[in-house]
Every structure is written in structure tokens, then in C-alpha cells.
């Protein structure tokens, strides 16, 4: 199959494999209607000398597609390390607010 960026689009689907304890990535080729018509099976490794610039990306995603990939990784059970800290910080703030309410209500004798 030949990929034509004007009539096809790529979709990256991550899936956690508990048996191998790895995240598997499926890169699907979709037609204009969104129907899968192929799958990227092999990635080709090239020496830097074959590129115009070693900084050429392996592939790129539009911001919306990058967000979809992040969302799919989240659904597969992965979240940014910073998100764990944020959740813990939010829980601490909520506990603090609860304590402040208890103090305020008891000090002001509010029921």
C-alpha cells in the first residue's frame, strides 16, 4: 500500500500489554471516511547521513492529533508524572478548605 497524505491519514492507537508489560503502538492508515485501510508494520531506521538534517522529525502530529494520542494514553492508564503531583496537591487543598470550614463554622457558631 502506498500512503498518500492527501487521501489518507494516520491514527496512532496505544494499547497496554500486561503480559509483556509494554505499551504497543498501532499506526493505522485511514481513508477519507475514517475507515482503516492499512497498518504501518515496519519502521525503517536510517543513518543520519541520509537526512538533509539530523534534526528532521521521525514523524509529526497536528496539535489535535497529539492531544488525541495523549488522551488515548490516559485511557490506557498512563498520565504525566506531573499529574500525580497535581492530584495530590488538589487533595491537600481540599482537606485544608474542609479544615478551614470546620474552624470557621465552630468559631462563628454556624450550623
pLDDT tens for 67-89 read 988 998 888 888 777 665 566 67
**Rounded-to-integer distance, Cα 52 and Cα 46, Å:** 12
pLDDT tens for 41-56 read 888 877 777 666 667 7
- pLDDT at residue 2, as a whole number: 63
Q: Are 61 and 72 in contact (CB under 8 A)?
A: no
**Rounded-to-integer distance, Cα 12 and Cα 95, Å:** 39
Q: Are 14 and 73 in contact (CB under 8 A)?
A: yes
Residue 5 reports pLDDT greater than 70: no
Residue 35 reports pLDDT greater than 80: yes
Domain parsing of the chain, residue ranges: 1-78, 80-111
Mean pLDDT estimate for the chain: 80
Three-state secondary structure call for residue 1: coil
- pLDDT at residue 93, as a whole number: 85
Amino acid at each position: 500500500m502506498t500512503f498518500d497524505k492527501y487521501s489518507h491519514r494516520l491514527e496512532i492507537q496505544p494499547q497496554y500489554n500486561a503480559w509483556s508489560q509494554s505499551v504497543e503502538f498501532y499506526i493505522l492508515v485511514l481513508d477519507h471516511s475514517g475507515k482503516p485501510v492499512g497498518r504501518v508494520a515496519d519502521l525503517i531506521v536510517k543513518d543520519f547521513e541520509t537526512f538533509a538534517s539530523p534534526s528532521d522529525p521521525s514523524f509529526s502530529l497536528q496539535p489535535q492529533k497529539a492531544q488525541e494520542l495523549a488522551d488515548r494514553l490516559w485511557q490506557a492508564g498512563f498520565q504525566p508524572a506531573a499529574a500525580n503531583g497535581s492530584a495530590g496537591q488538589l487533595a491537600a487543598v481540599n482537606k485544608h478548605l474542609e479544615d478551614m470550614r470546620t474552624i470557621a463554622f465552630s468559631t462563628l457558631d454556624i450550623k
